[in-house]
Amino acid sequence: MRNMFAAFLLVSGLAACSSPATPTIEELVELNTAARGGAAAIEAVQVFASDIRIVEPEFSVDGRYVATRDGRMRVDILADGERVFTEALGPSGGWSWTPDQGVAPASTRGAAALRHGIELPFKLFGLHELRGRGHVLAAAGREMIGSIDYHVLSLRLADGFEVRYYLHPDTGLIDRDRQLRALHVDVDPVPQLIETQYSDYRRVGGVLFPHRQVERAIATGEVLSTVTTQSVRINRAPEPDHFFPPP
């Protein structure tokens, strides 16, 4: 009996030794940072610009997005080549523009959504920079989705907005995230749980950026939006008045 018990302890100890240790948040951040191109390459991105195609159930439009590390951004929406809408955060605050109504101040919720787009780690900043910007990032265990046992990270931005990121254990890249939010907050402010899947990562300026994202309503599985990035430009300075509303 004593020998059997000793053998049990030995086997248990070997099993414990062979079990992979749970990665720390620092290790997961390092994994993602290295996968995207490294801290130096990510931090060298001072200006991010992209041309995108947005397809939703009721319409398809093109977009031109620009954001900078100092918190400025602007997105112009075009239908059939004509600009039909603009949203921006500039030195004078948030604003929007339409051909019919001209310039209007951004709503509080709308401006917050634009800021989230700058801060989240797909354009200008990496996961390794978020804590230094006043946000809270933590490891949240593992979650199996399909056949992939994801590492899960929880992010709470300084304003309280929360995101769950799903890090692929093999690639180190973010495959998907989940957010409780409105798709278009100034059109319908009611939040819903939305999952965004990121794919088609391509290297630009030494950094991997996802070039396709698909947003789905968790409750129904409905595809809410598909965004295809057609081009990315790094550190191309915009015109000095680009983030100011037109007179």
Each of the 247 residues of the chain gets a pLDDT tens digit; together they read 444 334 433 444 444 444 457 899 999 999 999 999 999 999 999 999 999 999 999 999 999 999 999 999 999 999 999 999 999 999 989 999 999 999 999 999 999 999 999 999 999 999 999 999 999 999 999 999 999 999 999 999 999 999 999 999 999 999 999 999 999 998 899 999 999 999 999 999 999 999 999 999 999 999 999 999 999 999 999 999 999 999 8
Q: How many domains does the chain have?
A: 1
- pLDDT for 1 equals 42
User: What CATH number is given to the structural domain containing 88?
Assistant: 2.50.20.10
Range(s) of the domain holding residue 37: 21-234
Is 241 inside a domain boundary?
Answer: no
Q: Please give the Cα distance from 177 to 187 (Å, whole number).
A: 23
In a domain, 243, yes or no: no
Beta pairing class for 207-217 and 102-105: unpaired
Domain-embedded: residue 163: yes
Q: What is the predicted pLDDT for the residue at 20?
A: 58
Q: CA geometry: angle at 23 spanning 19 and 26, to 5°? A: 160
Cβ-count burial 141-172 (b if 16+ within 10 Å, e if not): eeeeeeeeebbbbebebeeebebbbbbbeeeb
How far apart are the C-alpha atoms of 122 and 149, rounded to whole Å?
Answer: 22
Identify whether 15 is part of a domain.
Answer: no
In DSSP terms, 61 is beta-bridged to 54
In a domain, 1, yes or no: no
Residue 242 is assigned to a structural domain of this protein: no
What pLDDT is attached to residue 7?
Answer: 43
Give dist(CA 3, CA 9) in Å, integer.
10
Q: Is 4 a domain residue?
A: no
57: left (phi over 0), alpha (psi -120 to 50) or beta: alpha
What does the alpha-carbon distance between residue 36 and residue 207 come to, in Å, rounded to a whole number? 5
Calpha distance 247→239 (Å, rounded)? 16
Q: CA–CA separation, 16 vs 24, rounded Å? A: 18
Scored b (16 or more CB within 10 A) or e, 43-64 reads: bebebbbbebeeeeeeeeebbb
> Whole-angstrom Cα distance, residue 8 to residue 3?
9
In a domain, 239, yes or no: no
Q: Are 163 and 179 in contact (CB under 8 A)?
A: yes
* pTM strictly above 0.85: yes
